[in-house]
């Protein structure tokens, strides 16, 4: 079996790692071996956002690196389509696998379907119901052109059923839960990020901001940053691994705003360092979909700096509060969690009920083999 996996951004590197492990295990016990060809679009091209993840997560080096880089959504997706199509014509895999909701996802799916090559979409069925988000458009398109939809939760399955896609859908659990279970042990052994930063467990919060809805809207970005300054001023140290695009926006367009000393900007960190930071944090404040889940899996309370979330399960399980860019809502959410920081917070029962048992990669492999055969 010849599979071709398209990745290009941090969340996809995390999701492909468990699949690489199960492919290797499968090949040890069968003559019908899987040849998994990894294509890196270059959507995340910075070494801190790309290379470090392949190294840390022991992902095989990509067979093809397209080097697309940063540009507008249309230009980036178009360049990916052109380059992926050329590869597919040459390689002719049995199936193309796409992950998540980035431009790499939709480009890989569309290139394949136009060549009549089956597509499997891992993490299908997510919906924020906000089409102003580029990711929402990407995931809808990918779902509707794919042949096998591998959903992470029952909510995702319900969304697919509402769009008449249920017949090609399967609830396999969440691949990122597999990744967190495997890598949190490695993080404890290998990461020294807490000592490097000089922080004490449960005495700090982790911040990430990268979504276009926040970084491209200077009013929203400034309100979020000002609110975070207030939280840091109140005594909770905040650690902010800054996405390159966000740093450029702050440096170039928000020159009048300054972080207080208790609000620390650092360079982007690798996955193991981030898992270690999250697993020991008192709080996470983020606009990342993946980090909302990782925090939930690691029993870290979350405040989401968006107006909605595709991971509604984390909100319904009372592990996540939606605050958007509203300073009053951010402060209210912080006050809620601040009163609970001294208590033992454990979301593990909800995680196992909603996101699977940590064997999602095996279930995906079984679904792929069954479909191809």
Q: What is the average per-residue pLDDT within 27-55?
A: 82
Query: Does residue 371 register a pLDDT over 90?
Result: yes
Whether residues 119 and 186 fall in one domain = no
Give the number of residues written for the chain.
373
**pLDDT band, very low/low/confident/very high, at 49 (cuts 50, 70, 90):** low
Q: What is the average per-residue pLDDT within 15-22?
A: 97
Whether residues 122 and 209 fall in one domain = no
Q: Which whole-number Å values give the CA distances from 363 to 139, 152, 168, 178, 215, in the listed order?
A: 21, 11, 15, 11, 37
Whether residues 248 and 345 fall in one domain = yes
Whether residues 169 and 255 fall in one domain = no
- Cα gap 277→291, rounded to integer Å: 12
Query: Does residue 47 register a pLDDT over 70?
Result: no
Q: What pairing do the DSSP bridges indicate for beta strands 169-171 and 204-208?
A: unpaired
> Which pLDDT score is estimated for 341?
83
- Cα gap 265→282, rounded to integer Å: 18
Nearest Cα to Cα of residue 286 among 329, 321, 235: 321
Whether residues 33 and 86 fall in one domain = yes
Question: Can you give the residue range of the structural domain that contains 307?
Answer: 181-354
Q: What is the per-residue pLDDT across 114-148, written as a single tens digit (0 to 9) for each?
A: 999 999 999 999 999 999 899 999 999 999 999 99
Q: What is the average per-residue pLDDT within 87-107?
A: 97
Q: Which residues are catalytic?
A: 210
Whether residues 17 and 112 fall in one domain = yes
**pLDDT band, very low/low/confident/very high, at 46 (cuts 50, 70, 90):** low
Whether residues 7 and 156 fall in one domain = yes
Which segments within the chain are labelled E, that is strand? 2-7, 35-40, 64-65, 95-99, 119-122, 148-151, 169-171, 204-208, 237-241, 263-266, 283-286, 302-304, 320-322
> Which pLDDT score is estimated for 44?
64
Q: How many domains does the chain have?
A: 2
> Which pLDDT score is estimated for 255?
87
Other CB atoms closer than 10 Å to residue 74's CB: what's the count? 9
The fraction of the chain above a pLDDT of 90, given in percent, is 88
Nearest Cα to Cα of residue 337 among 320, 312, 350, 316: 320
> Which pLDDT score is estimated for 168?
98
**pLDDT band, very low/low/confident/very high, at 50 (cuts 50, 70, 90):** low
**183 Cβ contact partners less than 8 Å away, ≥ 6 residues apart:** 57, 271, 272, 275
> Which pLDDT score is estimated for 31?
86
Whether residues 343 and 209 fall in one domain = yes
Q: What is the average per-residue pLDDT within 226-244?
A: 96
Whether residues 87 and 19 fall in one domain = yes
> Which pLDDT score is estimated for 103?
95
Q: What is the average per-residue pLDDT within 101-114?
A: 97
Q: What is the per-residue pLDDT across 285-314, written as a single tens digit (0 to 9) for each?
A: 999 999 999 999 999 999 999 999 999 999
Q: Give pTM, 2 decimals.
A: 0.92
Whether residues 69 and 206 fall in one domain = no
Whether residues 36 and 160 fall in one domain = yes
Q: What CATH number is associated with residue 131?
A: 3.40.50.2000
Token output for 345: 């917070």
Q: What is the average per-residue pLDDT within 266-286?
A: 96
> Which pLDDT score is estimated for 45?
60
Whether residues 346 and 362 fall in one domain = no
**263 Cβ contact partners less than 8 Å away, ≥ 6 residues apart:** 228, 229, 232, 237, 238, 240
Q: What is the average per-residue pLDDT within 140-166?
A: 98
> Which pLDDT score is estimated for 83?
97
Mean residue pLDDT of the chain comes to: 94
């Amino acid at each position: 079996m010849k599979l071709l996996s398209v990745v290009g951004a941090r969340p996809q590197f995390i999701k492909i790692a468990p699949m690489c492990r199960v492919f290797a295990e499968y090949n040890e016990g069968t003559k019908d071996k899987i040849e998994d060809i990894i294509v890196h679009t270059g959507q995340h091209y910075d070494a801190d956002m790309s290379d470090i993840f392949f190294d840390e997560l022991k992902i095989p080096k990509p067979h093809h690196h397209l080097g697309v880089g940063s540009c507008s959504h249309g230009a980036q997706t178009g360049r990916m389509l052109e380059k992926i199509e050329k590869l597919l014509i040459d390689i002719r895999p049995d199936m193309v696998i796409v992950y998540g909701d980035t431009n790499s996802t939709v480009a890989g799916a569309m290139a394949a379907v136009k060549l009549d090559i089956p597509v499997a979409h891992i993490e299908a069925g997510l919906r924020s119901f906000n089409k102003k988000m580029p990711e929402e458009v990407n995931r809808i398109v990918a779902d509707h052109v794919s042949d096998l939809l591998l959903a992470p939760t029952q909510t995702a399955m319900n969304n697919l059923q509402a769009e008449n896609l249920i017949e090609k859908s399967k609830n396999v659990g969440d691949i990122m839960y597999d990744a967190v279970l495997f890598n949190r042990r490695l993080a404890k052994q290998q990461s020294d990020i807490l000592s490097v930063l000089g922080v004490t467990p449960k005495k700090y919060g982790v911040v990430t901001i990268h979504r276009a809805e926040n970084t491209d809207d200077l009013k929203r970005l400034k309100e979020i940053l000002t609110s975070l300054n207030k939280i840091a001023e109140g005594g909770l140290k905040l650690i902010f691994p800054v996405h390159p695009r966000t740093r450029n926006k702050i440096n170039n367009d928000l020159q009048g705003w300054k972080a207080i000393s208790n609000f620390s900007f650092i360079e982007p960190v690798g996955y193991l360092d981030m898992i270690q930071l999250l697993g020991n944090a008192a709080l996470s404040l983020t606009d990342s979909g993946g980090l909302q889940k990782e925090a939930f899996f690691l029993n870290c309370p979350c405040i989401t700096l968006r107006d909605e979330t595709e991971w509604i399960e984390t909100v319904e399980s009372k592990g996540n509060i939606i605050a958007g860019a509203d300073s009053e809502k951010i402060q209210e959410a912080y006050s809620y969690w601040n009163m609970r920081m001294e208590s033992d917070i454990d979301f593990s029962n909800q995680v196992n009920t909603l996101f699977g048992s940590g064997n999602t990669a095996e279930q995906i492999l079984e679904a792929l083999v069954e479909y191809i055969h």
